[in-house]
Amino acid sequence: MTLTINKKVIVQYILIYLMLIWHDAGIVFLIGRDLSRHLILVVCLILMILKQRCRSRRMILFVFTILLNVIFVRCISGGVGINYVLNAFSGIAIAYTAFMYDRENFVNRFVKSVAFFAFVSVICWLITIVVPNLYENLTFFSYSPFSRRIYTTNTNYTLSPVYYHGILLYVMRTGNELTRNNGIFNEPGLYQMVLNTALYFTMFFPEQLKCGAKKQERYMLILIIAIVTCQSTTGYLSLGAIIVGYLMTKQKGKKSYKIVGYIVTAVVILMGDFFINQNSSFIGQVISSKIIFTSQGIEFANSGLARAGTVFIVTASILKNPFGCGFDTINNLFSLAGKMSADGTALMYDLAALGIQIWMILIAFFVVPTFKNKKNIVTFGVVLFMYINTTLGQSDIFYPSLLILSFGYQLSDKCIEKS
């Protein structure tokens, strides 16, 4: 008896893994963020050369328009260069290449991969909550993504590195929101977008999973549990959009009613917890970290306040420089306002730096294809909300797990244009 190894299957799973780690997974911090993304780009270019099916005119045009815009902004304002183009090219390339390498099986293998990591992450998350020292001792790798300032006087301070433990299967963020599930990634907000994309496919394109109803239900259950344990406001909003969209388009039948029953039960439990325990509830702790309800009205807190400040600065900048002011200038404006960074909000941050052109490019190469490839108008609205919601909270606009939402999946001949 001989063991047959399907190289096509293995290669696509490797490409999907590269897609996942592109979202700033823990392993990226060992390799280096720029180096890892450049290596991913090299892998994609090699496959494009070797496999005709991996080549896409739309992908090349997408990157070329970004390059032209970067050159334009550099000429009029400066403060942006080739590294931005390489970063964009890497994210776009791995999204297209992973999908086009085997279009017919991409969704099935993507969901399987994410569901596997979701299951592992929930188990590891429970272990780190109950016996954190056990997980820390079992892991072989650790890294320090940042250092805390320890002030010795009013002005002098020393830097104390914060260590994260684990890389390949789960990252335990010792000393930094240990109670939140962030999977293999550096923070929960990055993990939730991968989970929500897999859940979107599971709920709206079950025929692509090539499995029975029971397995689909298991995928949904583990993905939703993982999203909830992320405790990400952005993740909850995308989850809510997916559920509402599904309820609007669901077909009558035993399977649909069972799935809706699971969803309604989960919502009732979470809402009951919220009404009984208020701010100390599971959802309340997440909401209270972003928004404060006072007698004077609603106020933003922590990251919510920081991102609101970023939006204000960007709006003022774009009114003055509609064609972009470059990253150096917008970063200086943040410094003058006492901000260390853009606090995510990549959709607004890139708008200020690269002008209204970058939004026009996204409309042409993400929004329009999403509309053309939509299963129905509801799925179009869900995808658009997921993209805007996530890129207003994270630090990039070229996340592969978001870009793949614009591809067509309901029929093989309605996938993105032929190479």
pLDDT at 283 over 50: yes
Going by C-beta distance under 8 Å and a sequence separation of 6 or more, which residues neighbour residue 38? 86, 90
Q: Which residue has the higher pLDDT, 193 or 254?
A: 193
Nearest Cα to Cα of residue 344 among 316, 310, 373, 375 = 310
Query: DSSP letter string over 215-283?
Result: HHHHHHHHHHHHHHHHT-HHHHHHHHHHHHHHHHHPPPSHHHHHHHHHHHHHHHHHHHHHHHHGGGSHH
Q: At 1, is the secondary structure helix, strand, or coil?
A: coil
Residue 30 · residue 21 · CB < 8 Å: no
Q: At 295, is the secondary structure helix, strand, or coil?
A: coil
Eight-class DSSP state of 287: H
Burial annotation 37-63 (CB, 10 A radius, 16+ → b, else e): bbebbebbeebbeeeeebebebbeebb
pLDDT at 86 over 50: yes
Question: What pTM was estimated for this model as a whole?
Answer: 0.86
Share above pLDDT 90 across residues of the chain, in percent, rounded to a whole number: 48
Compute the residue count for the chain.
419
**What residue has token string 């809510």?**
240
Query: Max alpha carbon distance in the chain (Å)?
Result: 75
Give the pairing type, strands 297-300 and 291-294.
Answer: antiparallel
Residue 365 · residue 407 · CB < 8 Å: no
For residues 143 and 290, give the distance between their C-alpha atoms in angstroms, rounded to a whole number.
28
Q: Where would I find the H helices in 51-166?
A: 57-76, 82-101, 103-130, 132-138
**What residue has token string 């939509």?**
374
Q: Rg of the chain over CA atoms, in angstroms?
A: 22
For residues 235 and 227, give the distance between their C-alpha atoms in angstroms, rounded to a whole number.
7
Q: CA 8 → CA 13, 51, 409, distances in Å?
A: 9, 12, 20
Q: How confident is the model at residue 44 (pLDDT cuts 50, 70, 90)?
A: very high
- List pLDDT tens digits, range 50-80: 999 999 999 999 999 999 999 999 999 888 8
- List pLDDT tens digits, range 345-356: 889 889 999 999
- List pLDDT tens digits, range 250-272: 755 555 666 666 666 666 766 66
Residue 382 · residue 389 · CB < 8 Å: no
